[in-house]
Amino acid sequence: MKKPSVLLAAGMLVLTLSGCSARVSPDTHSTAVPAGTTAPTAPSADAVTPKELNSSQLLGGNAKPSFPAGEAGKVSVVAQGQLSKTEGMDSGILLIAYRNNTSKAVAHVDFTVAAKAGGKVVASGNSQTGSIPAQVQPGEVALDYIYFSNVASIPDAGVTYEFQAQTSPADTSPYNTAALKVTQADNNGSAIIGVASNPTDKTLQNPFGVYAYCFEGDSIASYVESFAKPDAVLTPGGEVTFSIDLYDRKCDSFVLGVSGYFS
């Protein structure tokens, strides 16, 4: 497994931990997307039918954004927010939405990203563990974020991002990601508080990450994360609770997911 890392970004403590998997298969395409825009679509007669966000009914929240169909036969980025540079640091975060247009469900979707400006690469980044839902069905949309450790060379305009995706099969093998079902997610103005349960017939392993994406219409505006409790294994049907501090962010419209790992 990758070692845990601690990232201080945009006034929030971001803890990340990824499960290891030897079953990673590269998606060799790359998609160049201008900053702050959506990725181009590529309709095809054999394309998987696009589904709305949260078609699996595992996520919580009240946002209902609409996203493009994406590239046929591939896992591709369909929308992104603006790059958020961390004040007083060189790091930054880019929020993304991607769609699984392959015929099989995928997990451990890892993106590597090259930021380009003026005909050259000015920064590189990679996705973290904030993907919701943790397993993405054919046609389904998921949300994630890209972390850049150094954004000093990224200009405020004229930037494009090239994405490459690697995926693993969505199964219940040990340390594969598992999506919990959010049964409550309430915003009280300063925090999002709620409950999630284990919808599988397998025991799930902690830690249980909680990831909330805030929206303004169809645009991904900001992101916060935390952990659910108890920090212990979760049997089928078992529940965890969570409270995510919004750090004075406006998050009236949001989508939230909780994930863990199969034991």
Residue 46 in this model has a pLDDT that exceeds 90: no
Extract the runs of DSSP E, i.e. beta strands, from the chain.
5-9, 12-16, 25-34, 60-61, 75-80, 84-85, 92-100, 106-117, 120-127, 135-136, 141-148, 160-169, 177-179, 181-187, 191-197, 204-216, 219-227, 239-245, 254-262
Enter the tokens of residue 211: 């990831």
Residue 46 counted as domain residue: yes
User: How much is the CA Rg of the chain, to the nearest whole Å?
Assistant: 17
pLDDT of 45 reads 38
Same domain, 110 and 54: yes
6-19: average pLDDT: 32
Domain boundary among 115, 136, 169: 169
Chain centroid, CA 43 distance in Å = 24
Are residues 181 and 123 part of one domain? Answer: no
Answer yes or no: do 122 and 235 share one domain: no
- Domain stop point among 133, 153, 169: 169
- Which of residues 150, 169, 188 is at a domain's end? 169
pLDDT at 40 over 60: no
23 belongs to a structural domain: no
Determine the pLDDT at residue 10. Answer: 34
150 in the same domain as 52: yes
- Same structural domain for residues 182 and 156? no
Please give the pLDDT value at position 56: 95
Which range, 4-18, 22-36, 77-91, 247-261, has the best average confidence (pLDDT)?
A: 247-261
| Cα(159)–Cα(193) distance, integer angstroms | 36
187-219 pLDDT, tens digit per residue, is 999 999 999 999 999 999 999 999 999 999 999
Residue 11 located in a structural domain: yes
Higher-pLDDT residue of 135, 31: 135
Going by C-beta distance under 8 Å and a sequence separation of 6 or more, which residues neighbour residue 120? none
Contact 217, 226 (CB under 8 A): no
Q: What percent of the chain has pLDDT over 90?
A: 77
Model confidence at 3, pLDDT cuts 50, 70, 90, reads very low
Q: What dihedral angle (degrees, nearest 10) is formed by the CA atoms of 48, 44, 167, 137?
A: -10
Give Dmax over CA atoms of the chain in angstroms: 53
Q: What is the mean pLDDT of residues 21-46?
A: 43
pLDDT at 86: 85
| Residue span of the structural domain in which 148 resides | 7-17+29-169
Tokens of 9: 């970004």
Terminal-to-terminal C-alpha distance of the chain:
13
Give the tens place of pLDDT for each residue, 167-187. Answer: 999 999 998 999 999 999 999
Residue 67: the pLDDT is: 97
Query: Does residue 62 register a pLDDT over 60?
Result: yes
Determine contact, residues 175/261, Cβ cutoff 8 Å.
yes
Question: What was the pLDDT predicted at 44?
Answer: 40
pLDDT for res 27? 40
Eight-state DSSP code of residue 45: T
Q: Both 59 and 149 in a single domain?
A: yes
Task: Supply the CATH number for residue 131's domain.
Answer: 2.60.40
Query: How many Å apart are CA 223 and CA 228, to the nearest integer?
Result: 16
Q: What are the pLDDT digits (tens) for 85-129?
A: 987 788 999 999 999 999 999 999 999 999 999 999 999 999 988
Rounded-to-integer distance, Cα 42 and Cα 72, Å: 6
Contact of 236 with 262, CB cutoff 8 Å: no
* pLDDT above 90 for 151: yes
Residue at 192 is within a domain: yes
Asked, for residue 209, whether it belongs to a domain, the answer is yes
Q: Burial level of 100, CB count in 10 A (0-12/13-18/19+)?
A: buried
Q: Give the pLDDT score at 34.
A: 53
Q: How many domains is the chain built from?
A: 2
